[in-house]
């Protein structure tokens, strides 16, 4: 299985708090690093999956589990494909 790097921009939460980070971690986002800039919550993933598409779909599903929506997915063209 390969590991893929991408970012989800989350549109719902009121901000990154310790409780938001814990809820996301418990929902399966334990392979992401949450951060916030100018009120926008992002999750940087390093997700293991058979394909980039599946990695992104499962990450979006994990975020949806806690009632948050994904505004967009960002993929750095330099890291499209798997990373070690």
pTM of the predicted protein model: 0.87
Tokens at residue 54, please? 């599946």
**Domains identified in the chain and CATH numbers:** 2-77 (3.30.70.980)
Write the DSSP assignment of 20-60 as a string of letters.
HHHHHHHTT-TTEEEEEETTEEEEEEEEEESSHHHHHHHHH
Query: Which is nearest to 46 in space by CA: 75, 17, 9, 77?
Result: 75
In a structure prediction context, what are the per-residue pLDDT tens digits for the chain, which is 84 residues long?
A: 899 999 999 987 678 889 999 999 999 999 999 999 888 999 999 999 999 999 999 999 999 999 999 999 999 776 555 555
């Amino acid at each position: 299985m390969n590991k893929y790097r991408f970012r989800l921009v989350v549109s719902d939460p009121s901000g990154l708090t310790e409780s938001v980070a814990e809820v996301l971690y418990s929902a399966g986002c334990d392979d992401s690093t949450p951060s916030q800039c100018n009120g926008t919550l992002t999750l940087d993933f390093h997700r293991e999956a058979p394909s980039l598409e599946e990695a992104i779909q499962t990450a979006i599903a994990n975020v949806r589990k806690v009632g948050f929506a994904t505004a967009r997915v960002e993929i750095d063209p330099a890291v499209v494909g798997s990373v070690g």
